[in-house]
Amino acid sequence: DLSVSWLGLAMANPLYNASGVMCRSVAELEQVRTSAAGAVITKSCTPQPRVGNPEPRYCATPLGSINSMGLPNAGYPYYRDYARSYPYAAGKPLFLSLSGMTLDENLDMLRDLAAAELLCLPEVNLSCPNLPGKPQLGYDFQACSEALTQITRVYQGPFGVKLPPYFDQVHFAQMAAVLNAFPGLRFVTCINSIGNGLVIDVERESVVIKPKDGLGGLGGSYVLPTALANVREFYRLLPDKHVVGCGGINSGREAFMHILAGATVVQIGSCLYEEGEGAFARILDELSALMVQKGYQRLDDFRGKLKTL
Ligand code: DHB
């Protein structure tokens, strides 16, 4: 039994897409919805449509991926309208990712979403690393606190935030203190890509993506230990919230690791991009087999129970 109940939502299993992958158009969103995934999340949106950065802007390697997409999206109303027509009763929850270029843009979208009274939950992205000249909000604790103060004034329902990876225990504690001041914040998704990595092609002696002279967000196996550390630390430091694990899940083993570290549910990014929606059924089969081998009947039997030495 892989089912998960959280935030009053029922999911048949804990896997869904990471925002950005297979979720820009209705056709792609429907691909996820009609797959074995347990939920669906939309591409991070801005109030107006955006074409994004010049191509090539995504590249896979044997160890993961690098991207600098630049927030190409069909515009907030497109995803809100998808959320309006979404068949919630079928038991596959919908999350709507918001990534305004300014706090006011996020507040405008959240005000509209609150008025629409939909059953989808917002995941507010505090961590897009790919906009030239724009720092990631998640690395400015004071700005996050001020943003969350205003967000919770305009949006009173349950919501979550997508966080960048942190690399220092003092930063985990400082960010946790900010987040714990907002009881309406019900989940944190850890992690967004490790920002501004550089992949080099030795044959061409070149970068592999065009924007930002080759710098881009890293995903996939490169980021797994960083993702697990962020899931584990926020699981401990945010006892009244859920942690959504994201980063480096390629098989049932990595999904198990994220849940053992404390993730309630998990998202698949690079692997889904490379393999397509068949990845969900494969990873679920692998997770089930691993649980049978270990004698676990449900996810609660091992969630958060990582041992220390
Ligand atoms: C993009 C990348 C991200 O990591 C993110 O959180 C939002 C948008 C992008 O480049 O489109």
Maximum Cα interatomic distance, the chain, rounded to a whole number of Å? 54
Tens-digit pLDDT string for the chain (309 aa):
999 999 999 999 999 999 999 999 999 999 999 999 999 999 999 999 999 999 999 999 999 999 999 999 999 999 999 999 999 999 999 999 999 999 999 999 999 999 999 999 999 999 988 988 888 999 999 999 999 999 999 999 999 999 999 999 999 999 999 999 999 999 999 999 999 999 999 999 999 999 999 999 999 999 999 999 999 999 999 999 999 999 999 999 999 999 999 999 999 999 999 999 999 999 999 999 999 999 999 999 999 999 999
What's the pLDDT at 211?
A: 98
Q: Is the CB of 21 under 6 A from ligand 1?
A: no
What's the pLDDT at 129?
A: 87
What's the pLDDT at 263?
A: 99
Question: Quick check: is 128 catalytic?
Answer: yes
CATH of 4-52+71-193+221-301, one of 3.20.20.70, 2.40.30.10, 2.60.40.1660, 1.10.1370.30: 3.20.20.70
Q: Which two tokens stand for residue 232?
A: 């584990």
User: Of 249, 99, 206, whose CA–CA distance to 163 is shortest?
Assistant: 99
Q: Is the CB of 193 under 6 A from ligand 1?
A: yes
Q: Residues 98, 44: contact at Cβ < 8 Å?
A: yes
Mutating to test ligand 1, I would choose from 50, 53, 95, 128 the residue with most ligand atoms within 8 A of its C-beta, which is 128
What's the pLDDT at 191?
A: 98
Euclidean distance between CA atoms 56 and 228, whole angstroms? 29
Q: Is the CB of 128 under 6 A from ligand 1?
A: yes
Residue 92 C-alpha to ligand 1 middle, in angstroms?
24
User: Of 267, 269, 250, 231, whose CA–CA distance to 67 is shortest?
Assistant: 269
What is the ipTM, given to two decimal places? 0.97
Residue 69 C-alpha to ligand 1 middle, in angstroms?
6
What's the pLDDT at 208?
A: 99
Nearest CA to ligand 1 atom 7: 128
Judged by DSSP in three states, 239 sits in coil
* Marked catalytic residue, from 45, 128, 144, 190: 128
Q: Which two tokens stand for residue 266?
A: 């998990």
Residue 246 C-alpha to ligand 1 middle, in angstroms?
14
Taking the CA atoms of residue 62, residue 25, residue 127 and residue 191 in that order, the dihedral angle to the nearest 10 degrees is: -50
Euclidean distance between CA atoms 13 and 239, whole angstroms? 22
What's the pLDDT at 133?
A: 85
Mutating to test ligand 1, I would choose from 17, 125, 209 the residue with most ligand atoms within 8 A of its C-beta, which is 125
